Amino acid sequence: MITARPVAILSDNYAWLLRDDASGATAIVDPAEVAPIAAAIDAAGGRLDLILLTHHHADHIAGAEAIRARYGARMVGAAADVARLPPLDQAVAEGDTVMLGSAAARVIDTPGHTRGHISYFFPDGDVLLCGDTLFSLGCGRLLEGTPAEMFASLHKLAVLPGDTLICCGHEYTESNARFAVHADPTNPALAEFAARVRATRAAGRPTLPSRLAEELEANPFLRAPDVAGFADLRARKDRF
Ligand code: ZN
Ligand code: FE
């Protein structure tokens, strides 16, 4: 089974340290900074088998080559974006499998934030690494994709099991909650979620991972009924 732990890096990013408990194999997702990630890997035993990249932005890949040089891990990223990623050992696309020890991740193409954005889902542990596609109570900005593309990407993630752990790339949840409550002021599940998020951040703890089932009840971007509704919501959030 895969367990996932956030490693806080930069100002508000998370890299994710994954471990397959059957084999002890370890992965890091989106290692954009070396020192805190090396410290987390070393504290977990100093083993690194795999580097998983979700998309090409510097706040997700900046430390990847240095981490690979230090630990000798295999680097995996989107075939669609090889020109903008560090040299990959495995270039992947929709439906491909990536092994971490004895656990298999399925690759899900999730364009919208960027053209080549991918997500990784480990059914054994219900762990979803979704980068800047789905955030807790929010979603990524449409920097290279259309509303229709992002809407479709979010709905590929929305059909995963309800217990899926949302391991995304940023601690944006508290500010996302402010917009979400503004957009959907009468949703009791959202009000309760937002109160919990404020308490968690006040205590200095990460709000992630969240569970997909609670996002489906509270996240307005997952609850938008159609592409037009989603596009309107995304545009309002950009101005909020
Ligand atoms: Zn990004
Ligand atoms: Fe980012």
pLDDT, averaged across the chain: 98
Q: Is 55 a catalytic residue?
A: yes
Number of domains in the chain: 1
Distance from the alpha carbon of residue 81 to the mean position of ligand 1, in angstroms: 13
> Percent of the chain beyond pLDDT 70?
100
Task: Pick the catalytic residue from 20, 30, 49, 55.
Answer: 55
pLDDT, average across residues 109-113:
98
150: CATH: 3.60.15.10
pLDDT in tens, 55-69: 999 999 999 999 999
Compute the distance between CA of residue 32 and CA of residue 231 in angstroms, rounded to an integer. Answer: 30
Which of 146, 129, 154, 158 is closest to 31 using CA atoms?
A: 129
> Percent of the chain beyond pLDDT 90?
100
Q: Decide the pairing of beta strands 13-20 and 50-52.
A: unpaired
Question: What does the DSSP 8-state code read for residue 89?
Answer: S
Distance from the alpha carbon of residue 161 to the mean position of ligand 2, in angstroms: 25
Neighbouring residues of 32: CB distance < 8 A, sequence distance ≥ 6: 9, 10, 13, 15, 58, 59, 60, 61, 62, 63, 64
Ligand that lies nearest to the alpha carbon of residue 110, given by its number in the listed order: 1
User: Among positive and negative, which fits the CA dihedral 133, 117, 74, 212?
Assistant: positive
Q: Is 56 a catalytic residue?
A: no
- Provide the domain limits for residue 71: 2-239
Angle, alpha carbons 100-105-109 (nearest 5°): 135
Compute the distance between CA of residue 58 and CA of residue 60 in angstroms, rounded to an integer. Answer: 5
Distance from the alpha carbon of residue 150 to the mean position of ligand 1, in angstroms: 13
Q: What is the pLDDT of residue 102?
A: 96
Ligand that lies nearest to the alpha carbon of residue 10, given by its number in the listed order: 2
Q: Is 182 a catalytic residue?
A: no
Q: What is the pLDDT of residue 115?
A: 98
Classified as helix, coil or strand, 128 is strand
pLDDT, average across residues 179-201:
98
Q: Which helix H or strand E contains 138, and what residues bound it?
A: strand 138-139
Distances from the Cα of 232 to the Cα of 136, 138, 220, angstroms: 19, 14, 11
Q: Which helix H or strand E contains 31, and what residues bound it?
A: none
Ligand that lies nearest to the alpha carbon of residue 32, given by its number in the listed order: 2
pLDDT in tens, 128-178: 999 999 999 999 999 999 999 999 999 999 999 999 999 999 999 999 999
Q: Which two tokens stand for residue 152?
A: 């479709």
Question: Max CA-CA distance within the chain?
Answer: 51
Task: Pick the catalytic residue from 30, 56, 57, 96.
Answer: 57
Q: What is the pLDDT of residue 193?
A: 98
Q: What is the pLDDT of residue 151?
A: 98
What is the per-residue DSSP string for 96-119? Answer: -EEEETTEEEEEEE--SSSTT-EE
Q: Is 155 a catalytic residue?
A: no
